[in-house]
Amino acid sequence: MFLYLVPVKIVDDLLGVIVDIRGVKGLIVEEIAKSLNKSIKELSSIINHYLIKEIGERIEISSGFVDGSNVFDERRGSIIVLLSAYGLIVRGSNGNIRMHNVIGANGARKPIAIILFPRIYAETRIGILMRTLELLVARSIINQDVESVFLDGSYLSMLLAPSGAARQSYKLLIEDLPEQLVKEVEDIVSKRLRELYLKLDRIEYSNPYEGFMNIIDIMPEEYSSIINDLLSVLENKKPIEKVIDYSLLAIDENIGFYQLTKLLDESLRKNVRVYWIAKDTDSRFLARVNRLSTWITDVSLLDHLWANENIVALRVNDLVDLESISAWRTTRWMGQGSELVFEPLRALEFYSKWGKFDVWYFKLTRYGPVLQLTYPQRYGREAGIEALGVLRNLSDPKTGYPKPLILVHHATRLEERLAEGLGDTIWSRLENPLLKVLLARRARLRLL
């Protein structure tokens, strides 16, 4: 790791002004670039043996594309959240491609409004809800006679759930408790999560919007049940806020995890492949090849190496042994495992089937960025080739990004002011004094 304290002068040619930037640590300066040249050249020669430069277009297309968006506004004692997701199905062949949107996934035209209370771990919980909604849209698409579904993001990120916040909340809940009491806590949690999954099994998901709203409807009761059960066994041994923090995160995380398990199991039964595409990623798998300095991300490295390439792809698994993700980092069962967040039996089954993953990097136009493709490894190596063929057929010639994903991105994008406006509208209509306080604007916004 190189840390430099370097004054840098940037000349603004238009204004003729010299601006000093002082005290910048870790700045990528010429000295660092020189020190890395040898490692990068060595890595480049290794990568060249595995490059794929022949990517044929998939002529017949039958694929779905999904993206989501969220905005939120922090109020005095709660958070106003707006979520949206959009799904697009693309069918046909070159010169005759048809697109139609997924029913129940109307994007920014019909966002879903939620009041999040209490405010704890708000951004983490909003992210889980957003992911859940996107997975519901993908599940709907799988049942509409498609060959593949592409989502924005990373499959590895899905496998690395639950959040650090959820895992930490479990540690805080059980720390300093006697072993027998920890076991009682785990028995209660496992029982409650199994019952949650049974309730989720009874919900109809063909319409993503209605399915999501049905999930939202059962969440307050699930929160209450697990909190009350834990309080009854813990008595006064833990502050109530630690019980609440863990309970809320555990319910949220398992609702999202349930949808992921169902999506992938359904994909297998229907012979549909599910892929994730990331525009930006901090992954550093390639640094393992020759112990290259680990602060260089894969995409920045490949942007450099592939600067003059038009069409190129690389399967990372051909160079690096990517270990499967273990269920034991997400759950506990019979004295084994780490933090109990995911329901044990479901987690063990899921990660044994889906814990291995494939990672590809690709570029489909000279001036476009390097993108990342990830998916479950059990689909096979050829699944990556097939996905790249679909993406090449549908890519934008300027950006190299799939046009359907551009469309769904813009169709689902929400403006931040919408959440603020909704919060003000709800607040103005409330009569209950307590609710009015909880939904009031933050003091600094009212005072400054």
Query: Tell me: the pLDDT tens digits for 286-299?
Result: 888 877 666 688 99
The rounded distance, in Å, linking the Cα atoms of 372 and 297 is: 12
Q: What is the mean pLDDT of residues 312-333?
A: 94
Q: Give tens-digit pLDDT for 222-234.
A: 999 999 999 999 9
Q: Quote the pLDDT of residue 269.
A: 95
Length of the chain measured in residues: 448
What is the model's pTM?
A: 0.90
Q: What is the mean pLDDT of residues 273-287?
A: 92
Q: What is the mean pLDDT of residues 106-116?
A: 93
Long-range CB pairs of 286-291, under 8 A, 24+ apart, other chains included: 286/43, 286/47, 286/316, 286/319, 286/320, 288/320, 289/43, 289/46, 289/47, 289/319, 289/320, 290/39, 290/42, 290/43, 290/46, 291/39
Q: What is the mean pLDDT of the chain?
A: 89
What band does 6 get if pLDDT is binned at 50, 70 and 90?
A: very low
Q: Quote the pLDDT of residue 349.
A: 97
One-character DSSP codes across 18-86: EEEEEEETT---HHHHHHHHHHHHHHHHHHHTT-B------SSEEEEEEEEEEEEEEBSSSEEEEEEEE
Q: Quote the pLDDT of residue 142.
A: 95
The rounded distance, in Å, linking the Cα atoms of 185 and 152 is: 37
Q: Give tens-digit pLDDT for 137-155.
A: 999 999 999 999 999 999 9
Q: What is the mean pLDDT of residues 45-72?
A: 91
Q: Which residues contact 93 (CB under 8 A, 6 or more apart)?
A: 59, 60, 61
Q: What is the mean pLDDT of residues 265-293?
A: 89
Q: Quote the pLDDT of residue 119.
A: 86
Q: Quote the pLDDT of residue 37.
A: 74
Q: Quote the pLDDT of residue 29.
A: 53
Q: How far are the Cα atoms of 18, 54, 275 from residue 155, in angstroms, in the given order?
A: 45, 25, 7
Residue 27 has pLDDT above 80, yes or no: no
Q: What is the mean pLDDT of residues 305-318?
A: 94
Q: Give tens-digit pLDDT for 171-212.
A: 999 999 999 999 999 999 999 999 999 999 999 999 999 999
Q: Quote the pLDDT of residue 332.
A: 94
What band does 93 get if pLDDT is binned at 50, 70 and 90?
A: confident
Q: Quote the pLDDT of residue 32.
A: 60
What band does 446 get if pLDDT is binned at 50, 70 and 90?
A: low
pLDDT above 90 covers a percentage of the chain that reads 71
